[in-house]
Amino acid sequence: MSNKVRVLTLIAGLAIGDPLGGAERFGAELASHLDQEIFTPIVCAFWRHKRESEKYWSEHLTQRGVEFFFAADWPGRFSPIKFIEGLKKINLHLQDVPIAIIHSHFQVGSLAALILKRKLRVKALLRTAHLPPDKEWGNGGIATICRLVFTKLIFPLGFDLEVGVSQAAVFALNRRFFARLLNRRALWIPNAISLSRFKPVRHQHIRQELGIAPDELVVGSVGRLTEQKGYIYLIEAASKVISILPNVKFLIIGEGPLRRYLQEYADALRISNSFIFVGPREDLVPLYSAMDLFVLPSLWEGLPTVILESMACGVPVIATNIPGTRELVRHGHTGWLVEPKDSKALAEAIIYALQHPDARNTIARTAAESVVPLYSMEHIANQYQAIYLHLLNK
């Protein structure tokens, strides 16, 4: 029997970009960057969504020598019955496989980890909180109850360690009553990107494919089309930008429940011809290369890796002044910050950046040199590996 440390990574699924996002991408990338001389990574993508992106990420994990499996088919909304089916599938799949550590990257997965610990005789449990504690579990009455019961009570009791992807998230985790009572201190380990994938390379053909003229400026964004990402404010800002700079195109990459609404809103403002909704894409580097400016108008974030990706590809960033994001973007130094929900300020920032190419170039160069190297997946994987070994040797 192998003496390698088996680490079970729990992520919500492999439908990354549609409908899932950065937490799942990070979990899959982290597993594929573990040192396989020491660790045997196994990825459980809990929900199968039957999307094209699952094929891409399945192939990616296979090429990196990472075992993966799905636990249950996504029923369209959370189902306790399907969740129990998923637990049974995981238990059956791993009943003869000694798991040393379960590392969860989403809230339902964290609940599953607690249930599976005894059945699989797991030695240590770790969870990474990719959102601030007050945003976990979503919205509504049930979400509020889950935050009170699980995030604030059960998780600090049941997990050997919790990690926050931003310093703001760690501060909030450590302020929970039971975390303070039990002296359970969360650690800060930021999200990261694979630097070998994201580089400042120009792909002129992509602009032609998207119907963008050579003299047009491109403002791009990547993310799920949900309330969290604040795209409605980008559309409102775009109306003001286009009145001053009519040769600007807005490139929106991603999918989500608000897509139709956002398209209709752009149409109502008579700017739909200036927007290109390309849907979910895995070939992000060519798309970043088509941008003159990257904008992330989010209302809340953990630590947005799309900002790191754009920086790594040499694209200057405008983002909202929110926890997590402002750990990456220093206003006027590594990007520009505007207040969330302020479409006027966002428009003014976009207009300024587009009218000052020298400032864009300086911002992009500073961010690539001073920010991006701190968030390499290789570096962050080493930190997690040290934590795994520490938990097993406690």
Asked whether residue 317 is domain-assigned, the answer is: yes
Other Cβ atoms less than 10 A from the Cβ of 268: the count is 11
Q: Are residue 183 and residue 271 in the same domain, yes or no?
A: no
**What pLDDT score was predicted for residue 307?**
98
Strands 39-48 and 67-73, how do they pair? parallel
Q: Are residue 286 and residue 367 in the same domain, yes or no?
A: yes
Asked whether residue 107 is domain-assigned, the answer is: yes
- Alpha carbons 289 and 208: distance in angstroms, whole number: 12
Asked whether residue 257 is domain-assigned, the answer is: yes
Q: Are residue 224 and residue 281 in the same domain, yes or no?
A: yes
Q: Note the pLDDT tens digit of each residue in 117-148.
A: 999 999 999 999 999 999 999 888 899 999 99
Q: Are residue 164 and residue 278 in the same domain, yes or no?
A: no
Q: Are residue 61 and residue 145 in the same domain, yes or no?
A: yes
Q: What is the mean pLDDT of the chain?
A: 95
What percent of the chain stands above pLDDT 90?
Answer: 90
Question: Residue 385 — pLDDT band, cuts 50, 70, 90?
Answer: very high
Q: Are residue 137 and residue 239 in the same domain, yes or no?
A: no
CA proximity to 234, closest of 277, 289, 285: 277
C-alpha dihedral sign at 165, 127, 150, 82: positive
What are the C-alpha distances in Å from 41 to residues 133, 342, 388? 27, 43, 12
Average pLDDT over residues 289-296: 96
Asked whether residue 199 is domain-assigned, the answer is: no
Q: Are residue 105 and residue 156 in the same domain, yes or no?
A: yes
**What pLDDT score was predicted for residue 372?**
96
Average pLDDT over residues 264-270: 98
Buried b / exposed e over 201-214, threshold 16 CB at 10 Å, is eeeeebbeeeebee
**Where do runs of H (alpha helix) occur along 96-248?**
107-119, 141-146, 155-158, 167-175, 177-181, 204-209, 231-244
Question: Residue 3 — pLDDT band, cuts 50, 70, 90?
Answer: confident
Cβ-contact 21, 306 below 8 angstroms: no
- Burial label for 358, CB within 10 Å (0-12, 13-18, 19+), is exposed
Cα-based angle 363, 312, 299 (whole degrees, multiple of 5): 75
Is residue 203 over pLDDT 70?
no
- Burial label for 140, CB within 10 Å (0-12, 13-18, 19+), is exposed
Find the length of the chain.
394
Q: Which domain holds residue 260?
A: 204-374
Q: Are residue 10 and residue 122 in the same domain, yes or no?
A: yes
- Burial label for 194, CB within 10 Å (0-12, 13-18, 19+), is middle
Is residue 1 over pLDDT 60?
no
Q: Are residue 171 and residue 186 in the same domain, yes or no?
A: yes
CA proximity to 103, closest of 65, 130, 131: 130
Question: Residue 327 — pLDDT band, cuts 50, 70, 90?
Answer: very high
- Alpha carbons 160 and 181: distance in angstroms, whole number: 15
- Alpha carbons 220 and 206: distance in angstroms, whole number: 13
Q: Are residue 45 and residue 159 in the same domain, yes or no?
A: yes
- Alpha carbons 196 and 285: distance in angstroms, whole number: 11
Is residue 2 over pLDDT 70?
no
**Residue 230 token pair:** 């604040």
Is residue 158 over pLDDT 50?
yes
Asked whether residue 266 is domain-assigned, the answer is: yes
Give how many domains the chain has, as a whole number.
2
Domain holding 10: CATH number? 3.40.50.2000
- Alpha carbons 99 and 202: distance in angstroms, whole number: 44
Average pLDDT over residues 77-103: 96
**What pLDDT score was predicted for residue 301?**
95
Q: Can you give the pTM of this predicted structure?
A: 0.91
Question: Residue 107 — pLDDT band, cuts 50, 70, 90?
Answer: very high
- Alpha carbons 37 and 27: distance in angstroms, whole number: 19
